[in-house]
Amino acid sequence: MTQNRPHFATRLGVIATTVGSAVGLGNIWRFPYEAGTHGGGAFLIIYIACIAVIGIPVICAEFVMGRASRRNIFGAFRTLAPRGGRWWQSVGVLGILGSVLILSFYSVVAGWTIEYLLQSLAGTLDAVASSERQIAFDRFTGGWRCVLWTVVILGLNCAIVLGGVRKGIERVSNLLMPLLFILLVTLAVNSLLLPGAASGLEFLFRPDFSTVDSSVILGALGQAFFSLSLGLGTMMIYASYFSPATPLLKSAATTAGLDTLVALIAGVIIFPAVFTFGAEPAAGPKLVFEVLPDIFYRMPGGAVWSTLFFLLLLLASLTSTISMSEISVAYLSEQWGMSRRKAVALNSGIVLVLGTLCALSFGPLSDFTVCGKTIFELFDYVASNIIMPLGGMLISVFVGWVLKRQTFDLELKPAPRMLLNALVFSLRFIAPGAIALIFIVYI
Ligand code: PFF
């Protein structure tokens, strides 16, 4: 089976798919509102520290496991652990559970982008006065159309995943990622010219550590894992499709670098506008959807910008949803011998039910809460702040302590020795230690 495994065809394909998984709603929707609710500058610094010290070593660990085993997360632990790694395979259970929870709420937000895209096209987004945007947003997310768009997203996701690795995943990512990047830079320049630019940049870049508490640190850690798609085996499954010639360290650094850059650019787009149009930085998940229309419709040709933006955001979310689905689809087809078609159908069926519950948690189910969180918030919290860091911690421990050092060095070749030692040091002590400490302090 491993010999026939598909490969990504080109080096651009490798970068476009891994960056395609990493860059998505996490950067453009989640990062600004997490930074907004957690105080701005200080959150940003802790977030970047998490990416550098924990994120990059964990991406390398997932890449090494994926390419060395050429398997999905279960198969990777089974192949690489001594005596079949029975216990280690439970990390796979976490990965699948996390990816299903994320896909469920993520599809809802991706569905919002369809609504905003259609409204941009129809010119109705422009017709809503700034002061009424919040009411319009609440009305839409509280209704059934929001459920319909969630279903449409899952349908599109199925279609691409069924297309397979090269024709589906790689081709779509190659085209979209560069386009999205160009559009984001243009929007950032536009925001820098707004009257509230200085206050917005100050909020984002000037740290005030007096506001930092454990929830800020856990939030930054969760955001780093969410944004880099780590701890669930996503980067592992993608690396299992890399060719032996793909340089892992370079690919890891490029993925983390571009992902962080896109989050920063999203911050530079959003916060000047937040301060210019008097929005509330701590507005939560609705922040970006309320502020963006104000940005677009102050620009000449606003409807065109808005249409292009929501189209690309929609497509960027699809390059992330396909990577989430690939975790379970590869597992079901490789470990259970299911056809790709059946595996996609099973995964989508489960996500459809959970996704509908998430969508309804803004309307009919808004009063149904567990530990004070709606279903949508609960799925996000459990997956991003608990399952992903926990999965990342276990993957670090496995690669740092259990995997043969020779395998690690061989896969990361031709990295300098000092760098390899630093990575192993982080995987053995720093990454698991820091994650454990944050969990202990927080709980
Ligand atoms: N990294 C993606 C984003 O920032 O939008 C989200 C994501 C993708 C999370 C894939 C988890 C995952 F497995």
Residue 102 tokens read as: 């994320």
CA 331, CA 338: separation in Å to the nearest integer?
A: 9
Distance 41 CA to ligand 1 centre (A): 23
Q: How confident is the model at residue 167 (pLDDT cuts 50, 70, 90)?
A: low
CA distances from 316 to 159, 175, 233 (A): 15, 11, 20
pLDDT of residue 1: 44
| Over residues 232-243, mean pLDDT | 93
Residue 26 tokens read as: 């996490």
Is residue 173 within 8 A of residue 11, CB to CB? The reply is: no
What is the percent of the chain with per-residue pLDDT over 70, rounded to a whole number?
96
pLDDT of residue 405: 95
What is the percent of the chain with per-residue pLDDT over 90, rounded to a whole number?
69
Query: What type of residue is 381?
Result: Y
Distance 31 CA to ligand 1 centre (A): 12
The answer to whether the CB of 226 is under 6 A from ligand 1 is yes
The answer to whether the CB of 268 is under 6 A from ligand 1 is no
pLDDT of residue 414: 84
Count other C-beta atoms under 10 Å from residue 333's C-beta: 18
- Name the residue at shortest CA distance from atom 11 of ligand 1: 229
Give the number of the atom of ligand 1 that is nearest the alpha carbon of residue 324.
13
Distance 232 CA to ligand 1 centre (A): 10
- Candidates 329, 322, 405; CA nearest to 68 is 405
CA 329, CA 103: separation in Å to the nearest integer?
A: 13
Is residue 64 within 8 A of residue 408, CB to CB? The reply is: yes
Distance 429 CA to ligand 1 centre (A): 25
Residue 31 tokens read as: 């990062």
Preceding peptide of 414 cis, ω within 30°: yes
Residue 345 tokens read as: 């159908």
Calculate the CA dihedral of residues 325, 77, 89, 107 and round it to 10 degrees. -10
Distance 55 CA to ligand 1 centre (A): 13
Residue 162 has pLDDT above 60, yes or no: yes
| Over residues 379-397, mean pLDDT | 95
CA 136, CA 142: separation in Å to the nearest integer?
A: 10
- Candidates 216, 233, 223; CA nearest to 392 is 233
Distance 233 CA to ligand 1 centre (A): 11
| Over residues 45-61, mean pLDDT | 96
Residue 128 has pLDDT above 80, yes or no: no
7-21, 28-42, 167-181, 308-322, range with the lowest pLDDT: 167-181
The answer to whether the CB of 320 is under 6 A from ligand 1 is yes
Distance 127 CA to ligand 1 centre (A): 33
10-14, 97-101, 241-245, range with the lowest pLDDT: 10-14
Give the number of the atom of ligand 1 that is nearest the alpha carbon of residue 388.
11
Residue 157 tokens read as: 């996701």
Is residue 392 within 8 A of residue 58, CB to CB? The reply is: yes
CA 379, CA 416: separation in Å to the nearest integer?
A: 40
CA 96, CA 329: separation in Å to the nearest integer?
A: 10
Is residue 56 within 8 A of residue 228, CB to CB? The reply is: no
| Over residues 286-312, mean pLDDT | 86
Q: How confident is the model at residue 135 (pLDDT cuts 50, 70, 90)?
A: confident
Q: How confident is the model at residue 83 (pLDDT cuts 50, 70, 90)?
A: confident
| Over residues 59-65, mean pLDDT | 97
- Name the residue at shortest CA distance from atom 12 of ligand 1: 229
Query: What type of residue is 275?
Result: F
226-230, 296-300, 395-399, 421-425, range with the lowest pLDDT: 296-300
The answer to whether the CB of 324 is under 6 A from ligand 1 is yes
| Over residues 10-34, mean pLDDT | 89
Q: pLDDT averaged over the chain? A: 90
| Over residues 240-255, mean pLDDT | 92
Candidate of 19, 21, 312, 385 to mutate for ligand 1, largest count of ligand atoms within 8 Å of Cβ: 21
**Would the pTM count as exceeding 0.85?**
yes
CA 257, CA 254: separation in Å to the nearest integer?
A: 5
The answer to whether the CB of 25 is under 6 A from ligand 1 is yes
Residue 70 has pLDDT above 50, yes or no: yes
Residue 2 has pLDDT above 60, yes or no: no
The answer to whether the CB of 26 is under 6 A from ligand 1 is yes
Is residue 271 within 8 A of residue 203, CB to CB? The reply is: yes
pLDDT of residue 169: 62
Sign of CA dihedral 65, 70, 75, 79: negative
Distance 26 CA to ligand 1 centre (A): 6
The answer to whether the CB of 27 is under 6 A from ligand 1 is yes
Residue 210 gets which letter from DSSP?
Answer: G
Distance 438 CA to ligand 1 centre (A): 21
CA 200, CA 268: separation in Å to the nearest integer?
A: 8
Q: Categorise residue 207: left if φ over 0, alpha if ψ from -120 to 50, beta otherwise.
A: beta
| Over residues 351-363, mean pLDDT | 96
CB-count burial class (<10 Å; 0-12, 13-18, 19+) for 83: exposed
Is residue 438 within 8 A of residue 217, CB to CB? The reply is: yes
Helix, strand, or coil here: 129? coil
Give the number of the atom of ligand 1 that is nearest the alpha carbon of residue 228.
1
Residue 4 has pLDDT above 70, yes or no: no
> Could you tell me which residues come within 8 angstroms of residue 253 by beta carbon, excluding any fewer than 6 positions away?
56
Q: How confident is the model at residue 314 (pLDDT cuts 50, 70, 90)?
A: very high
9-13, 16-20, 320-324, 328-332, range with the lowest pLDDT: 9-13
Q: How confident is the model at residue 319 (pLDDT cuts 50, 70, 90)?
A: confident
